[in-house]
A = this chain, B = another copy of it.
Amino acid sequence: MAVRLNEISTRAPEDFDKKQAKEKTARMVEELDDLQNLLFAEGKHSVLIIIQGMDGSGKDGVIRNVLGNMNPQGVTVKSYKAPTQEELSHDFLWRIHAAAPGKGMIQVFNRSHYEDILVTRVHKWCDDETAVKRMRAINEFEKLLQEHNNTHILKFYLHVSPEEQHERLSERMKDPAKMWKYNEKDFEEAKLWDIYMKMYEDCFNNCNNPEWTIVPSDQNWYKEYIIASKLHTLLKGLNMQFPGLKK
């Protein structure tokens, strides 16, 4: 069924126990450290975590608070910005593939190849026909990683309301510790909200294998709880074992 973002809440269910969720998150984050160590030691699986969301949706916070407790030797973060000249001289997946995780590794993408069918479409640098071709290429690329390198892909969309976004962007003008993030242009982009939502919906409807998790993200505690749970469940489910002494 086609996703409609404006029908999906950006907040936790009303009766969701915040205190309990926070405790659970803390426990899971602690266990993630051990699970990642096991993933690294076993060296059979790899994990790719794709984080997408509008400005101010809290992508950096997820990386710091949920993924930041694991050993950085086995967890790498790649933030994708506007492509360089060299990157532009290659196909759009070239710089993405280069950072795909090796076995035993967790790779986090702060933004990703999805920007090539998001911001680019919103600004009409990429027409619909090209977008359709890119979606196909993305699906095949994610299939390649899954089938040929045992890569488990988690895709998160941090779903905030435009009101919450506005508040957070405004805060960046006031809080000295957040001013470095302030960018006038973010407010310009925010005006394109509806078209961004439409393009995101297109991603969810056409590139959904593996499937996206739409994370209600107006409250950080709930966002972190959902993402920690997903990663925790994934790693637990791999039934990993230490390989024992090499012979």
Contacts and interface: CB of A to CB of B under 8 A. Distances in A.
Given A97-B97, A140-B140, A148 B102 contact: no
A133 interface: yes
Interface string A100-119: 10111100000000000000
A214 interface: no
B137 A92 contact: no
Copies in the complex: 2
A57 B49 CA distance: 45
A170 B224 CA distance: 66
B137 A91 contact: no
Q: Which 4 A-B pairs have the closest CB atoms?
A: A89-B102, A91-B148, A91-B149, A140-B140
A207 B102 CA distance: 26
B97 A94 contact: yes
Interface string A14-28: 000000000000000
A90 B145 CA distance: 8
Contact of A148 (B92, B100, B149): B92
A98 interface: yes
Nearest to A105: B89
A203 interface: no
A86 B102 contact: yes
A100 B90 contact: yes
Given A90-B100, A94-B100, A104-B89, A133 B149 contact: no
Given A86-B102, A89-B149, A141-B144, 4 more contacts: A93-B144, A133-B147, A134-B148, A137-B147
Nearest to A101: B90
